[in-house]
Amino acid sequence: MKLSREFYLRDGLTVARELIGKKLVTNLSEGVTGGIIVETEAYMGAIDAAAHSYRGKTERTKIFYGEGGFVYVYLIYGMHICTNVVANVENIPEAVLIRALEPVEGIELMKHRRGKSNLLDLCSGAGKLSQALGITKNFYGADLCGDEIFIETTDFRAEITATKRINIDYAGKAADYLWRFVAAGNKFLSVK
């Protein structure tokens, strides 16, 4: 069952934790691909020096200021798309980075898109999973309650562990916040 808008209209920490075990799906002309979300990071707006919305509203971050349940994508290293879920209500700019998936649907298409055959390497990182699922910069602002990209409930169960986020040393004290959530022991995590 597809998640409702109400799921996303909560604080980013709650959404980040509760996304673990849900299934991110893309339904594109090439086919359907999807994976179980096993790693997320919360970015909490004005109280979080690591968040893109920390310094306020810009053309890039305006999507954060709408209601939750929409996609925020951005490019890192000039080549990799990172996929984020906007959380909370209007004018509270929070988001959740999807860092890793356990591939479960459309695996051959994912392998083709990634040019990789190793299942463990398909979605074990934010850029990797975006490529595997066919997510491009054109997904900026896409509605997660639509039919092209969405998140579903599953029967997946795991112990959820909170750790420090990855690669945000520039963020001062925020670098130490335990706002990364993982399915403990899952072999598809981006960083073990």
Q: What are 74-88's pLDDT values in tens digits?
A: 988 777 999 999 999
Residue identified by tokens 């398909």 is 122
The pLDDT of residue 103 is above 90? yes
The pLDDT of residue 192 is above 90? no
Fold adopted by 5-183: 3-methyladenine DNA Glycosylase; Chain A (3.10.300)
The pLDDT of residue 111 is above 90? yes
Which pLDDT does position 183 carry in this prediction?
A: 98
CB distance 149 to 22 below 8 Å = no
Percent of the chain with pLDDT over 70: 100
Task: Locate the domains of the chain by residue range.
Answer: 5-183
Q: In which band, very low, low, confident or very high, does the pLDDT at 145 lie, cut at 50, 70 and 90?
A: very high
Q: Whole-angstrom Cα distance, residue 170 to residue 33?
A: 34
Q: In which band, very low, low, confident or very high, does the pLDDT at 191 lie, cut at 50, 70 and 90?
A: confident
